[in-house]
Amino acid sequence: MHFAPELLDQLRQARHIAVFTGAGVSAESGIPTFRDAQTGLWARFRAEDLATPEAFRRDPVTVWNWYAWRRELMRNARPNPAHDALARLERLVPRVTVITQNVDGLHARAGSSDVIELHGNIWHNLCSACGKCVMDEQLSNDTPPLCPDCGGRIRPGVVWFGEALPVAAWTRASEVLETADLFFCIGTSSLVEPAASLPRYARACGRPVIQINPEATSHDEIAQYVLRGKAGEVLPMLVAAAWPQSV
Ligand code: BJW
């Protein structure tokens, strides 16, 4: 793949890089993206219809079992070359902040040290009634488990449709846009708000936006560079092209 020499210069000169990621970054780890059709037991459900507070109220058993299945998938998944290349970038650029919509924790497992999780983390358990955080060891054997304090239903600590994003994560992500020199947008359909507005804010702040995705998205229009391909292939090549001595 050929990279514009100006892009490689901008990368080498950057003091702070912001990287906004979505499900496509974990696709090569074997975790289906949100808008992939579901398979097996879950083929008759749409992911969008399970990730809502209404679905959990209506059918908590199905929603809990879906998350239990996804946790198992994520537990067995390994970071892929895209996660690894982003973690490696920290040794080449003074500051790298990953702003992710993913709940799988794979950026941190790959070694990225500054990760903002906009949509929560699938490994956290919360009481849907009193908000208490509950450790795995404290979970009862019910489906879904019940809160040891108030008996409410335990839910995964992720952000569902119609719920607000964690304030601290959103505030930090907005601050990062003000200090970053470059903004990567990788592996997201950019359909889900308010996260999808971040690349537009970055562009409005005058930051070059670099889009990596095998498919076109609405953010191609605002991107200074569109790199068409899989993140696990494009990112390692890009890092090697900018810093040949790093490989
Ligand atoms: C590859 C690849 C490879 C493949 N390499 N790439 C404004 C306008 C319209 C609607 C709204 C609006 N503001 C809010 C809304 C409503 C709603 C929304 O956005 N709806 C839209 C669908 C229309 N938003 C919300 O409800 C949000 N909350 C909110 O706004 O609250 C307001 C409020 C304020 C105050 C009080 C109360 C409320 C919350 C959104 C939460 C989203 N949650 C989920 C589930 C998380 C938990 C879980 O994992 O189960 O987050 S939904 C799902 O979508 C998940 C993802 O993080 C998110 C984004 O998906 P993503 O990552 O982009 O994945 P895909 O599958 O869509 O795309 C994959 C991409 O990868 C594709 O482009 C592929 O081509 C690419 N790809 N292989 C690179 N190898």
The whole domain housing 101 covers 1-30+79-119+165-247
| Distance in Å, CA 144 to ligand 1 centroid | 24
175 lies in the same domain as 231: yes
Would the pLDDT of 5 be above 90? yes
| Distance in Å, CA 240 to ligand 1 centroid | 31
- Dist. CA 3–CA 181, nearest whole Å: 18
- Dist. CA 6–CA 4, nearest whole Å: 5
- Dist. CA 139–CA 155, nearest whole Å: 11
In which region does residue 165 sit, left (phi positive, over 0), alpha (psi from -120 to 50) or beta (all else)? beta
| 73 within ligand 1 shell (Cβ under 6 A) | no
* Strand partners for 127: 154
Mean pLDDT score, 1-30: 97
Q: Total domain count for the chain?
A: 2
89 lies in the same domain as 23: yes
Catalytic residue among 83, 107, 119, 219: 119
| Distance in Å, CA 195 to ligand 1 centroid | 7
CATH code of the domain containing 147: 3.30.1600.10
- Dist. CA 217–CA 240, nearest whole Å: 26
| 231 within ligand 1 shell (Cβ under 6 A) | yes
pLDDT tens column, 49-77: 999 999 999 999 999 999 999 999 999 99
In sequence order, what are the residues at sequence separation of 6 or more whose Cβ sits closer than 8 angstroms to the Cβ of residue 6? Answer: none
Query: Could you please report the per-residue DSSP string of 140-200?
Result: -SSSS-B-TTT-PBEEEEEPPTTSPPPHHHHHHHHHHHHH-SEEEEES----STTTTHHHH
| 10 within ligand 1 shell (Cβ under 6 A) | no
| 211 within ligand 1 shell (Cβ under 6 A) | no
Would the pLDDT of 247 be above 90? no
Closest residue to atom 56 of ligand 1, CA basis: 101
Would the pLDDT of 43 be above 90? no
136 lies in the same domain as 92: no
51 lies in the same domain as 173: no
Closest residue to atom 22 of ligand 1, CA basis: 192
Could you tell me if 119 and 164 are in contact, meaning their C-beta atoms sit under 8 angstroms apart?
A: no
| Distance in Å, CA 82 to ligand 1 centroid | 20
Around Cβ 218, how many Cβ atoms within 10 Å?
Answer: 12
Confidence of residue 13 (pLDDT cuts 50, 70, 90): very high
Could you tell me if 121 and 158 are in contact, meaning their C-beta atoms sit under 8 angstroms apart?
A: yes
pTM of the model: 0.97
- Dist. CA 178–CA 207, nearest whole Å: 9
169 lies in the same domain as 214: yes
Is 119 assigned a catalytic role? yes
234 lies in the same domain as 205: yes
Q: Tell me which of 46 and 10 has the higher pLDDT.
A: 10
Would the pLDDT of 198 be above 80? yes
